Structure 1
Amino acid sequence: MTVGQFENRKLLVVGGTSGIGLEAARMVAEQGGSVVIVGNRVEKAEDARQQLSRVAGEGKVFALTADLHSAESVRSLMGKLGDEHDDIDMLVNTAGIFYPVSFLDHTEDDYDAFLSINRAFFFITQQITKSLMRRDKPGSIVNVTATAAKQAIETVPASSYSMAKIGLEAMTKHVAMELAKNGIRVNAVAPAIVETRIFERFIPGEELDSAMQEFHSLHPIGRNGTTEEVAETIVFLLSDKTSWVTGAVWDVDGGMMAGRMLAK
Protein backbone atom coordinates (compact mmCIF):
# COMPACT_ATOMS: atom_id res chain seq x y z
CA MET A 1 0.00 0.00 0.00
CA THR A 2 1.35 3.40 -0.98
CA VAL A 3 1.60 5.92 1.84
CA GLY A 4 0.05 9.25 0.84
CA GLN A 5 1.88 12.55 1.25
CA PHE A 6 -0.61 13.64 3.92
CA GLU A 7 -0.40 10.51 6.07
CA ASN A 8 -0.41 11.44 9.78
CA ARG A 9 -1.51 14.99 9.00
CA LYS A 10 -4.82 16.69 9.69
CA LEU A 11 -6.54 19.37 7.62
CA LEU A 12 -9.19 21.85 8.73
CA VAL A 13 -11.32 23.29 5.91
CA VAL A 14 -13.51 26.23 6.90
CA GLY A 15 -16.14 26.02 4.20
CA GLY A 16 -15.47 22.37 3.44
CA THR A 17 -18.96 21.07 2.76
CA SER A 18 -19.19 22.04 -0.90
CA GLY A 19 -17.36 23.52 -3.87
CA ILE A 20 -13.64 24.20 -3.73
CA GLY A 21 -13.36 23.37 -0.04
CA LEU A 22 -14.96 19.95 -0.39
CA GLU A 23 -12.70 19.13 -3.35
CA ALA A 24 -9.58 20.13 -1.41
CA ALA A 25 -10.71 18.01 1.53
CA ARG A 26 -11.34 15.04 -0.76
CA MET A 27 -7.88 15.30 -2.34
CA VAL A 28 -6.15 15.41 1.03
CA ALA A 29 -8.26 12.46 2.23
CA GLU A 30 -7.31 10.49 -0.89
CA GLN A 31 -3.66 11.04 -0.03
CA GLY A 32 -3.90 9.73 3.52
CA GLY A 33 -4.82 12.79 5.55
CA SER A 34 -7.46 13.24 8.21
CA VAL A 35 -9.95 16.03 7.57
CA VAL A 36 -12.14 18.33 9.66
CA ILE A 37 -14.74 20.20 7.63
CA VAL A 38 -16.77 23.18 8.83
CA GLY A 39 -20.09 24.18 7.28
CA ASN A 40 -23.11 26.17 8.31
CA ARG A 41 -25.79 23.45 8.05
CA VAL A 42 -25.82 20.22 10.03
CA GLU A 43 -27.39 18.08 7.29
CA LYS A 44 -25.03 19.32 4.59
CA ALA A 45 -21.99 18.87 6.82
CA GLU A 46 -22.97 15.30 7.66
CA ASP A 47 -23.57 14.49 3.99
CA ALA A 48 -20.10 15.83 3.13
CA ARG A 49 -18.58 13.86 6.01
CA GLN A 50 -20.10 10.66 4.69
CA GLN A 51 -18.83 11.37 1.18
CA LEU A 52 -15.31 11.95 2.43
CA SER A 53 -15.40 8.96 4.77
CA ARG A 54 -15.91 6.71 1.76
CA VAL A 55 -12.55 8.00 0.52
CA ALA A 56 -10.58 8.29 3.75
CA GLY A 57 -12.18 5.56 5.85
CA GLU A 58 -14.19 5.86 9.03
CA GLY A 59 -12.63 7.75 11.89
CA LYS A 60 -10.61 10.10 9.68
CA VAL A 61 -13.26 12.66 8.73
CA PHE A 62 -15.05 14.99 11.13
CA ALA A 63 -17.79 17.55 10.51
CA LEU A 64 -18.53 20.66 12.58
CA THR A 65 -20.97 23.50 12.03
CA ALA A 66 -20.80 27.21 12.77
CA ASP A 67 -22.32 30.49 11.70
CA LEU A 68 -19.22 32.43 10.69
CA HIS A 69 -21.15 35.70 10.88
CA SER A 70 -21.69 35.17 14.61
CA ALA A 71 -18.78 35.82 16.97
CA GLU A 72 -20.42 33.61 19.59
CA SER A 73 -20.81 30.73 17.15
CA VAL A 74 -17.17 31.07 16.04
CA ARG A 75 -16.01 31.01 19.67
CA SER A 76 -18.00 27.81 20.19
CA LEU A 77 -16.38 26.29 17.09
CA MET A 78 -12.93 27.26 18.31
CA GLY A 79 -13.66 25.61 21.64
CA LYS A 80 -14.52 22.35 19.90
CA LEU A 81 -11.42 22.56 17.73
CA GLY A 82 -9.24 23.11 20.78
CA ASP A 83 -10.83 20.26 22.73
CA GLU A 84 -11.14 17.67 19.97
CA HIS A 85 -8.73 18.59 17.16
CA ASP A 86 -5.64 20.16 18.66
CA ASP A 87 -3.50 18.17 16.21
CA ILE A 88 -4.49 20.14 13.09
CA ASP A 89 -1.46 21.15 11.03
CA MET A 90 -3.09 22.34 7.79
CA LEU A 91 -5.83 24.93 7.29
CA VAL A 92 -7.85 26.10 4.30
CA ASN A 93 -10.06 29.17 4.69
CA THR A 94 -12.50 29.04 1.79
CA ALA A 95 -15.96 29.77 3.19
CA GLY A 96 -17.70 32.65 1.52
CA ILE A 97 -20.80 34.17 0.08
CA PHE A 98 -21.28 36.12 -3.09
CA TYR A 99 -24.12 38.05 -4.63
CA PRO A 100 -23.76 41.20 -6.72
CA VAL A 101 -24.87 44.42 -5.04
CA SER A 102 -24.22 47.85 -6.52
CA PHE A 103 -22.20 50.23 -4.38
CA LEU A 104 -25.08 52.70 -4.05
CA ASP A 105 -27.53 49.98 -3.04
CA HIS A 106 -25.35 48.39 -0.35
CA THR A 107 -26.79 48.20 3.15
CA GLU A 108 -24.96 47.76 6.43
CA ASP A 109 -26.27 44.19 6.57
CA ASP A 110 -24.78 43.44 3.14
CA TYR A 111 -21.46 44.91 4.22
CA ASP A 112 -21.40 42.94 7.47
CA ALA A 113 -22.33 39.72 5.66
CA PHE A 114 -19.21 39.91 3.49
CA LEU A 115 -16.73 41.35 5.97
CA SER A 116 -17.67 39.35 9.08
CA ILE A 117 -16.38 36.14 7.52
CA ASN A 118 -12.86 37.58 7.59
CA ARG A 119 -13.14 38.05 11.35
CA ALA A 120 -13.88 34.34 11.71
CA PHE A 121 -10.94 33.44 9.46
CA PHE A 122 -8.62 35.70 11.44
CA PHE A 123 -9.31 34.20 14.84
CA ILE A 124 -9.61 30.58 13.68
CA THR A 125 -6.24 30.97 11.97
CA GLN A 126 -4.82 32.51 15.11
CA GLN A 127 -5.97 29.56 17.20
CA ILE A 128 -4.53 26.99 14.80
CA THR A 129 -1.17 28.77 14.63
CA LYS A 130 -0.96 29.09 18.44
CA SER A 131 -1.55 25.35 18.69
CA LEU A 132 1.18 24.66 16.13
CA MET A 133 3.63 26.91 17.95
CA ARG A 134 2.81 25.36 21.32
CA ARG A 135 3.57 21.93 19.86
CA ASP A 136 6.60 23.28 17.96
CA LYS A 137 5.14 21.93 14.71
CA PRO A 138 5.36 23.31 11.17
CA GLY A 139 2.12 23.91 9.31
CA SER A 140 0.57 25.15 6.09
CA ILE A 141 -2.33 27.54 5.62
CA VAL A 142 -4.08 28.46 2.37
CA ASN A 143 -6.65 31.24 2.06
CA VAL A 144 -9.03 31.51 -0.87
CA THR A 145 -9.36 35.08 -2.13
CA ALA A 146 -10.56 36.14 -5.60
CA THR A 147 -9.36 37.99 -8.67
CA ALA A 148 -12.29 40.33 -7.99
CA ALA A 149 -10.14 41.78 -5.20
CA LYS A 150 -7.74 43.09 -7.85
CA GLN A 151 -9.77 43.30 -11.07
CA ALA A 152 -13.10 45.09 -11.22
CA ILE A 153 -15.66 44.02 -13.83
CA GLU A 154 -18.30 46.62 -14.68
CA THR A 155 -21.12 44.10 -14.99
CA VAL A 156 -20.31 42.32 -11.70
CA PRO A 157 -20.66 44.82 -8.83
CA ALA A 158 -18.70 43.49 -5.86
CA SER A 159 -17.37 46.38 -3.78
CA SER A 160 -17.61 44.98 -0.24
CA TYR A 161 -17.00 41.41 -1.38
CA SER A 162 -13.77 42.63 -2.95
CA MET A 163 -12.87 44.58 0.19
CA ALA A 164 -13.13 41.35 2.14
CA LYS A 165 -11.04 39.40 -0.35
CA ILE A 166 -8.26 41.98 -0.61
CA GLY A 167 -8.22 42.08 3.17
CA LEU A 168 -7.73 38.32 3.24
CA GLU A 169 -4.89 38.73 0.75
CA ALA A 170 -3.22 41.31 3.02
CA MET A 171 -3.68 39.03 6.03
CA THR A 172 -2.01 36.22 4.06
CA LYS A 173 1.14 38.24 3.43
CA HIS A 174 1.45 39.78 6.88
CA VAL A 175 0.81 36.57 8.79
CA ALA A 176 3.24 34.72 6.51
CA MET A 177 5.97 37.17 7.46
CA GLU A 178 5.30 36.80 11.18
CA LEU A 179 5.09 33.00 11.19
CA ALA A 180 7.88 32.12 8.76
CA LYS A 181 10.40 31.71 11.56
CA ASN A 182 8.10 29.11 13.13
CA GLY A 183 7.95 26.99 9.98
CA ILE A 184 4.31 27.89 9.34
CA ARG A 185 3.63 28.78 5.72
CA VAL A 186 0.70 31.00 4.71
CA ASN A 187 -0.35 31.36 1.08
CA ALA A 188 -3.48 32.12 -0.92
CA VAL A 189 -5.11 31.31 -4.22
CA ALA A 190 -7.16 33.85 -6.15
CA PRO A 191 -9.63 32.16 -8.51
CA ALA A 192 -11.53 33.94 -11.25
CA ILE A 193 -14.97 32.58 -12.19
CA VAL A 194 -15.32 28.98 -11.09
CA GLU A 195 -18.40 26.97 -11.93
CA THR A 196 -20.04 26.31 -8.58
CA ARG A 197 -23.63 26.41 -7.37
CA ILE A 198 -23.10 29.85 -5.86
CA PHE A 199 -24.39 31.45 -9.08
CA GLU A 200 -27.74 29.67 -8.70
CA ARG A 201 -28.46 31.91 -5.72
CA PHE A 202 -28.79 35.09 -7.75
CA ILE A 203 -29.10 34.14 -11.43
CA PRO A 204 -32.56 32.88 -12.46
CA GLY A 205 -32.53 29.25 -13.58
CA GLU A 206 -33.60 30.01 -17.13
CA GLU A 207 -30.71 32.49 -17.50
CA LEU A 208 -27.99 30.48 -15.77
CA ASP A 209 -26.59 28.60 -18.77
CA SER A 210 -26.32 31.70 -20.95
CA ALA A 211 -24.73 33.69 -18.13
CA MET A 212 -22.10 31.03 -17.54
CA GLN A 213 -21.39 30.93 -21.27
CA GLU A 214 -20.81 34.68 -21.25
CA PHE A 215 -18.39 34.34 -18.34
CA HIS A 216 -16.18 32.02 -20.41
CA SER A 217 -15.05 34.94 -22.53
CA LEU A 218 -13.69 36.84 -19.51
CA HIS A 219 -10.80 34.37 -19.33
CA PRO A 220 -8.02 34.42 -21.96
CA ILE A 221 -7.82 30.62 -21.72
CA GLY A 222 -11.40 30.60 -23.04
CA ARG A 223 -13.42 29.00 -20.26
CA ASN A 224 -14.46 29.18 -16.61
CA GLY A 225 -12.57 27.17 -14.01
CA THR A 226 -13.61 24.08 -12.09
CA THR A 227 -13.52 23.39 -8.38
CA GLU A 228 -11.07 20.56 -9.00
CA GLU A 229 -8.59 22.85 -10.73
CA VAL A 230 -8.53 25.33 -7.86
CA ALA A 231 -8.38 22.55 -5.27
CA GLU A 232 -5.37 20.99 -7.00
CA THR A 233 -3.46 24.24 -6.49
CA ILE A 234 -4.57 24.53 -2.87
CA VAL A 235 -3.40 20.99 -2.13
CA PHE A 236 -0.08 21.68 -3.86
CA LEU A 237 0.43 24.69 -1.57
CA LEU A 238 -0.49 22.62 1.48
CA SER A 239 2.08 19.99 0.59
CA ASP A 240 5.79 19.85 1.27
CA LYS A 241 6.33 20.19 -2.48
CA THR A 242 5.98 23.95 -1.96
CA SER A 243 8.08 24.09 1.21
CA TRP A 244 9.87 27.24 0.00
CA VAL A 245 6.68 29.13 -0.80
CA THR A 246 5.09 31.47 1.73
CA GLY A 247 3.35 34.83 1.51
CA ALA A 248 2.34 34.10 -2.09
CA VAL A 249 -1.01 34.80 -3.71
CA TRP A 250 -1.37 32.61 -6.78
CA ASP A 251 -3.85 33.62 -9.48
CA VAL A 252 -5.75 30.51 -10.58
CA ASP A 253 -7.81 32.34 -13.13
CA GLY A 254 -7.47 31.16 -16.72
CA GLY A 255 -5.22 34.14 -17.44
CA MET A 256 -7.66 36.85 -16.30
CA MET A 257 -5.10 38.86 -14.36
CA ALA A 258 -2.54 38.57 -17.17
CA GLY A 259 -4.91 40.17 -19.64
CA ARG A 260 -8.67 40.20 -19.32
CA MET A 261 -10.58 39.74 -22.55
CA LEU A 262 -13.70 41.64 -23.47
CA ALA A 263 -16.95 39.71 -23.48
CA LYS A 264 -18.11 38.96 -27.01
Structure 2
Amino acid sequence: MADTTTLIIGGSSGMGLAAAQQIVAKGGHVTLVGSSADKLNAARAGLGALADIHQVDLRNTDQVDGLIEHIKENNRHIQGLINAAGTFSPKPFLEHTSEDYESYMDLNRATFFITQAIAENMKANGGGSIVNIGSMWAKQAVRATPSSAYSMAKAGLHSLTQHLALELAPHGIRVNAVSPAVVVTPIYGAFIEPDKIEETLTGGFDAFHPIGRVGRPEDVASTITHLLSEDASWVTGAVWDVDGGVMAGLV
Protein backbone atom coordinates (compact mmCIF):
# COMPACT_ATOMS: atom_id res chain seq x y z
CA MET A 1 0.00 0.00 0.00
CA ALA A 2 1.20 3.49 -0.84
CA ASP A 3 0.68 4.76 2.72
CA THR A 4 2.79 2.04 4.34
CA THR A 5 6.52 1.46 4.42
CA THR A 6 9.19 -0.78 5.87
CA LEU A 7 11.85 1.20 7.70
CA ILE A 8 15.31 -0.35 7.44
CA ILE A 9 17.92 0.93 9.88
CA GLY A 10 21.23 0.20 8.20
CA GLY A 11 19.52 -0.26 4.86
CA SER A 12 22.14 1.09 2.48
CA SER A 13 24.26 -2.08 2.31
CA GLY A 14 24.56 -5.72 3.34
CA MET A 15 21.59 -7.62 4.69
CA GLY A 16 19.48 -4.49 5.10
CA LEU A 17 19.84 -3.57 1.43
CA ALA A 18 19.23 -7.16 0.33
CA ALA A 19 15.98 -7.16 2.32
CA ALA A 20 15.01 -3.83 0.74
CA GLN A 21 15.58 -5.30 -2.73
CA GLN A 22 13.34 -8.25 -1.95
CA ILE A 23 10.59 -6.03 -0.54
CA VAL A 24 10.67 -3.65 -3.52
CA ALA A 25 10.65 -6.58 -5.94
CA LYS A 26 7.25 -7.51 -4.48
CA GLY A 27 5.93 -3.97 -4.80
CA GLY A 28 6.54 -2.79 -1.24
CA HIS A 29 7.83 0.63 -0.22
CA VAL A 30 11.01 0.97 1.85
CA THR A 31 12.62 3.79 3.81
CA LEU A 32 16.36 3.37 4.24
CA VAL A 33 18.32 4.88 7.11
CA GLY A 34 22.13 5.01 6.96
CA SER A 35 25.11 7.18 7.76
CA SER A 36 26.68 7.42 4.29
CA ALA A 37 25.05 9.75 1.77
CA ASP A 38 26.88 8.06 -1.11
CA LYS A 39 25.67 4.58 -0.13
CA LEU A 40 22.13 5.80 0.48
CA ASN A 41 21.94 7.55 -2.89
CA ALA A 42 23.32 4.49 -4.65
CA ALA A 43 20.80 2.27 -2.89
CA ARG A 44 17.91 4.57 -3.81
CA ALA A 45 19.07 4.69 -7.44
CA GLY A 46 19.02 0.90 -7.55
CA LEU A 47 15.65 0.56 -5.84
CA GLY A 48 13.80 3.30 -7.71
CA ALA A 49 10.65 5.18 -6.80
CA LEU A 50 9.65 2.74 -4.06
CA ALA A 51 12.49 3.88 -1.80
CA ASP A 52 13.05 6.90 0.43
CA ILE A 53 16.27 7.63 2.32
CA HIS A 54 17.29 9.37 5.55
CA GLN A 55 20.91 10.07 6.43
CA VAL A 56 21.41 9.54 10.17
CA ASP A 57 24.51 8.83 12.24
CA LEU A 58 23.18 6.45 14.88
CA ARG A 59 25.97 7.44 17.26
CA ASN A 60 24.82 11.06 17.17
CA THR A 61 22.00 11.45 19.68
CA ASP A 62 20.75 14.69 18.09
CA GLN A 63 20.42 13.01 14.70
CA VAL A 64 18.71 9.99 16.24
CA ASP A 65 16.30 12.26 18.08
CA GLY A 66 15.63 14.07 14.79
CA LEU A 67 14.73 10.78 13.10
CA ILE A 68 12.43 9.91 15.99
CA GLU A 69 10.66 13.27 15.68
CA HIS A 70 10.27 12.67 11.94
CA ILE A 71 8.71 9.28 12.64
CA LYS A 72 6.28 10.80 15.12
CA GLU A 73 5.28 13.64 12.80
CA ASN A 74 4.86 11.52 9.68
CA ASN A 75 1.44 9.95 9.20
CA ARG A 76 2.69 7.06 7.11
CA HIS A 77 2.14 3.64 8.71
CA ILE A 78 5.48 1.95 9.30
CA GLN A 79 4.28 -1.58 8.82
CA GLY A 80 7.72 -3.18 9.11
CA LEU A 81 10.98 -2.40 10.86
CA ILE A 82 14.34 -4.06 10.22
CA ASN A 83 17.10 -3.20 12.67
CA ALA A 84 20.11 -4.03 10.50
CA ALA A 85 22.70 -1.47 11.60
CA GLY A 86 25.90 -2.86 13.04
CA THR A 87 29.63 -2.63 13.44
CA PHE A 88 32.08 -5.47 14.00
CA SER A 89 35.70 -5.03 15.04
CA PRO A 90 37.07 -8.07 16.89
CA LYS A 91 39.50 -7.26 19.69
CA PRO A 92 40.67 -9.20 22.75
CA PHE A 93 38.81 -8.34 25.94
CA LEU A 94 41.97 -7.12 27.67
CA GLU A 95 42.61 -4.64 24.85
CA HIS A 96 39.12 -3.13 24.66
CA THR A 97 38.88 0.60 25.32
CA SER A 98 35.88 2.55 26.56
CA GLU A 99 35.54 4.00 23.05
CA ASP A 100 35.28 0.48 21.58
CA TYR A 101 32.63 -0.42 24.13
CA GLU A 102 30.61 2.76 23.61
CA SER A 103 30.59 2.29 19.84
CA TYR A 104 28.45 -0.82 20.34
CA MET A 105 26.32 0.57 23.14
CA ASP A 106 25.53 3.74 21.16
CA LEU A 107 24.06 1.57 18.41
CA ASN A 108 21.96 -0.34 20.94
CA ARG A 109 20.69 2.91 22.44
CA ALA A 110 19.67 4.20 19.01
CA THR A 111 18.01 0.88 18.17
CA PHE A 112 16.09 0.88 21.46
CA PHE A 113 14.57 4.35 21.11
CA ILE A 114 13.96 4.22 17.36
CA THR A 115 12.16 0.92 17.87
CA GLN A 116 10.11 2.52 20.64
CA ALA A 117 8.96 5.25 18.24
CA ILE A 118 8.17 2.70 15.54
CA ALA A 119 6.18 0.59 18.00
CA GLU A 120 4.07 3.65 18.85
CA ASN A 121 3.44 4.17 15.14
CA MET A 122 2.49 0.51 14.69
CA LYS A 123 0.23 0.57 17.74
CA ALA A 124 -1.61 3.62 16.39
CA ASN A 125 -2.01 2.01 12.95
CA GLY A 126 -3.14 -1.49 13.85
CA GLY A 127 0.11 -3.41 14.20
CA GLY A 128 3.21 -4.42 12.34
CA SER A 129 6.29 -6.60 12.37
CA ILE A 130 9.83 -5.98 13.63
CA VAL A 131 12.92 -8.02 12.78
CA ASN A 132 16.25 -7.48 14.53
CA ILE A 133 19.52 -8.69 13.07
CA GLY A 134 21.35 -10.33 15.95
CA SER A 135 24.36 -12.59 15.70
CA MET A 136 25.70 -16.05 16.28
CA TRP A 137 28.42 -14.35 18.36
CA ALA A 138 25.71 -13.46 20.90
CA LYS A 139 25.36 -17.19 21.60
CA GLN A 140 28.82 -18.58 20.96
CA ALA A 141 32.39 -17.35 21.44
CA VAL A 142 34.73 -17.88 18.48
CA ARG A 143 38.45 -18.00 19.25
CA ALA A 144 39.46 -16.53 15.88
CA THR A 145 37.29 -13.44 16.40
CA PRO A 146 37.30 -12.33 20.08
CA SER A 147 34.24 -10.12 20.31
CA SER A 148 33.16 -9.61 23.92
CA ALA A 149 31.66 -6.11 23.56
CA TYR A 150 30.02 -6.90 20.21
CA SER A 151 28.60 -10.14 21.60
CA MET A 152 27.30 -8.39 24.70
CA ALA A 153 25.50 -5.85 22.52
CA LYS A 154 23.98 -8.51 20.25
CA ALA A 155 22.92 -10.67 23.21
CA GLY A 156 21.08 -7.61 24.49
CA LEU A 157 19.33 -7.32 21.13
CA HIS A 158 18.26 -10.97 21.32
CA SER A 159 16.86 -10.35 24.81
CA LEU A 160 15.09 -7.18 23.70
CA THR A 161 13.46 -9.20 20.92
CA GLN A 162 11.81 -11.54 23.41
CA HIS A 163 10.75 -8.81 25.81
CA LEU A 164 9.18 -6.72 23.06
CA ALA A 165 7.42 -9.74 21.59
CA LEU A 166 5.67 -10.26 24.92
CA GLU A 167 4.85 -6.61 25.57
CA LEU A 168 3.76 -5.62 22.07
CA ALA A 169 1.72 -8.69 21.12
CA PRO A 170 -1.53 -7.13 22.45
CA HIS A 171 -1.05 -4.32 19.92
CA GLY A 172 -0.72 -6.66 16.95
CA ILE A 173 3.03 -6.21 16.73
CA ARG A 174 5.29 -9.23 16.18
CA VAL A 175 9.00 -9.04 17.08
CA ASN A 176 11.59 -11.56 15.93
CA ALA A 177 15.31 -11.76 15.23
CA VAL A 178 17.71 -13.56 12.96
CA SER A 179 21.09 -14.77 14.21
CA PRO A 180 23.54 -15.06 11.30
CA ALA A 181 27.03 -16.53 11.26
CA VAL A 182 29.60 -15.24 8.73
CA VAL A 183 27.93 -13.34 5.89
CA VAL A 184 29.80 -11.50 3.14
CA THR A 185 28.93 -7.87 3.89
CA PRO A 186 30.81 -4.55 4.25
CA ILE A 187 30.67 -4.83 8.06
CA TYR A 188 34.01 -6.68 7.93
CA GLY A 189 35.62 -3.59 6.45
CA ALA A 190 36.53 -2.48 9.96
CA PHE A 191 39.43 -4.94 9.91
CA ILE A 192 39.61 -6.38 6.36
CA GLU A 193 40.40 -4.31 3.27
CA PRO A 194 37.03 -3.81 1.53
CA ASP A 195 38.18 -5.30 -1.77
CA LYS A 196 39.46 -8.40 0.04
CA ILE A 197 36.39 -9.19 2.17
CA GLU A 198 35.02 -11.78 -0.26
CA GLU A 199 38.36 -13.55 -0.68
CA THR A 200 39.18 -13.48 3.05
CA LEU A 201 35.83 -14.76 4.27
CA THR A 202 35.36 -17.47 1.69
CA GLY A 203 38.94 -18.64 2.10
CA GLY A 204 38.95 -18.57 5.88
CA PHE A 205 35.38 -19.35 6.93
CA ASP A 206 33.64 -21.51 4.30
CA ALA A 207 34.63 -24.66 6.19
CA PHE A 208 33.49 -23.15 9.50
CA HIS A 209 29.89 -23.64 8.33
CA PRO A 210 28.57 -27.23 8.12
CA ILE A 211 26.69 -26.30 4.96
CA GLY A 212 30.08 -25.62 3.34
CA ARG A 213 30.03 -21.90 2.61
CA VAL A 214 29.71 -18.49 4.18
CA GLY A 215 26.40 -16.70 3.86
CA ARG A 216 25.31 -14.08 1.37
CA PRO A 217 23.12 -11.09 2.25
CA GLU A 218 20.20 -12.53 0.32
CA ASP A 219 20.36 -15.75 2.38
CA VAL A 220 19.52 -13.83 5.53
CA ALA A 221 17.26 -11.31 3.79
CA SER A 222 14.94 -14.10 2.65
CA THR A 223 14.36 -15.11 6.27
CA ILE A 224 13.93 -11.48 7.34
CA THR A 225 11.27 -10.80 4.73
CA HIS A 226 9.53 -14.05 5.62
CA LEU A 227 9.38 -13.02 9.29
CA LEU A 228 8.01 -9.61 8.29
CA SER A 229 5.27 -11.18 6.21
CA GLU A 230 1.91 -12.66 7.09
CA ASP A 231 3.35 -16.06 6.22
CA ALA A 232 4.94 -15.86 9.68
CA SER A 233 1.86 -14.44 11.40
CA TRP A 234 2.09 -16.94 14.29
CA VAL A 235 5.78 -16.35 14.92
CA THR A 236 6.90 -13.86 17.56
CA GLY A 237 9.68 -13.79 20.13
CA ALA A 238 11.83 -16.11 17.99
CA VAL A 239 15.57 -15.79 17.43
CA TRP A 240 16.23 -17.86 14.33
CA ASP A 241 19.68 -19.23 13.55
CA VAL A 242 20.41 -18.41 9.90
CA ASP A 243 23.97 -19.61 10.02
CA GLY A 244 24.72 -22.46 7.62
CA GLY A 245 24.45 -24.94 10.49
CA VAL A 246 27.10 -23.43 12.75
CA MET A 247 25.09 -23.55 15.97
CA ALA A 248 23.91 -27.08 15.21
CA GLY A 249 27.53 -28.14 15.05
CA LEU A 250 28.66 -26.25 18.15
CA VAL A 251 26.00 -27.27 20.66
Q: Which amino acid aligns with 2:137?
A: A
RMSD: 1.8
- CA distance in structure 1 between the aligned counterparts of 2:195 and 2:41, rounded to whole angstroms: 31
Q: Which residue of 2 aligns with 1:160?
A: 149
- Deviating above 4 A after TM superposition, structure 1's stretches of 4 or more consecutive aligned residues are 204-208
Q: Which residue of 2 aligns with 1:114?
A: 104
Structure 1 segments unaligned to the other structure (5+ residues): 1-5
Q: Is 1:62 paired with 2:39?
A: no
Structure 2 segments unaligned to the other structure (5+ residues): none
- Point out the structure with the larger helix share: 2
Q: Is 1:44 paired with 2:39?
A: yes
Q: Which residue of 1 aligns with 2:220?
A: 230
Q: Give TM-score scaled by structure 1 length.
A: 0.90
1:239 positional shift: 0.2
| Contact 2:5/2:76 (8 A) holds in 1 | no
Matches within 5 A, 1:158-197: 158-197=147-186
- CA distance in structure 1 between the aligned counterparts of 2:196 and 2:219, rounded to whole angstroms: 25
Change (3 A) 1:211 1:144: closer
Q: Which residue of 2 aligns with 1:146?
A: 135
Aligned length: 250
Q: Which residue of 2 aligns with 1:3?
A: none
- CA distance in structure 1 between the aligned counterparts of 2:200 and 2:215, rounded to whole angstroms: 16
Which is higher, the Rg of structure 1 or of structure 2? 1
Q: Is 1:31 paired with 2:20?
A: no
- CA distance in structure 2 between the aligned counterparts of 1:48 and 1:86, rounded to whole angstroms: 21
- CA distance in structure 2 between the aligned counterparts of 1:169 and 1:148, rounded to whole angstroms: 11
1:222 positional shift: 1.1
Q: Is 1:97 paired with 2:87?
A: yes
- CA distance in structure 2 between the aligned counterparts of 1:187 and 1:206, rounded to whole angstroms: 33
- CA distance in structure 1 between the aligned counterparts of 2:170 and 2:195, rounded to whole angstroms: 53
Identity of aligned residues (%): 45
